[in-house]
Amino acid sequence: MRFSIFLFSIIIMSTSCAQLPYHSIPDYPEDYSAGNVISRMIDGLGYRYYWATDSLTVKDLQYKPSPEGRDTEHNLEHIYGLSEVILNAAKNEPNIRPSDYEHMTYEDFRKGTLKNLKKASELMLGKSEAEVANLKVKFKREEKLSEFPFWHMFNGPIADALWHTGQVVSYRRSAGNPINSKVNVFMGHTKH
């Protein structure tokens, strides 16, 4: 466990953290090009993640539904790794394995994930169908490189990150700290 009760005040994030992306979803792209649709999917994930991880407490981070389950802290680590895969696919660069996140904190995971998603969204914005078709999901372990068609991004990292973001929402509710009730995922903004 990276976090202690002593660090409680350091790891609480305020809802006024406006410098982080995805406090709300950006305006619509101009058209429904392949890159714009993917960008919007990433923006939807970013908005959900922003609010799912806003103002988590130590209790929230330690919560897990069963002794065998993964706690919220480890879900955030996993989502961060998925955000790296999403960003690297948008850059058409390989993901180097294994990854080491042991030095990272809750704030690092939150900021890093949101910034990775924002950058990936920006890179996808405006890409044509042909440009998206040339992107690959790549993994490199030592000298071995594995490549997959970009299609795997949808059923893999994007869907998986949405899945685990939903777990964070469920876990924090179970721990007694539900998500802000003014979040509107359909509209992509939060009422004040």
| CATH domain 24-190 topology | Four Helix Bundle (Hemerythrin (Met), subunit A) (1.20.120)
Do the Cβ atoms of 57 and 178 come closer than 8 Å? no
pLDDT at 180 over 60: yes
Please tell me whether the overall predicted TM-score, pTM, comes out greater than 0.85 for this model. yes
Q: What are phi and psi of 141, to 5 degrees?
A: -125, 115
Give me the mean pLDDT over the 181-189 stretch: 92
**Which residues make Cβ contacts (< 8 Å) with residue 47, sequence separation at least 6?**
22, 24, 25, 185, 188
What pLDDT is stored for residue 100 in this prediction? Answer: 86
Q: Which segment of 4-8, 67-71, 79-83, 178-182 scores lowest on mean pLDDT?
A: 4-8
E strand spans, the chain: 94-97, 136-141, 144-149, 183-184, 189-190
What pLDDT is stored for residue 18 in this prediction? Answer: 55
Neighbour-count burial of 76, counting CB atoms closer than 10 A to its CB (0-12 exposed, 13-18 middle, 19+ buried): buried
Helical pair 159-174 and 34-52, crossing angle rounded to 10 deg:
20
Give me the mean pLDDT over the 23-42 stretch: 95
pLDDT band at 13 (very low <50, low <70, confident <90, very high): very low
pLDDT at 14 over 70: no
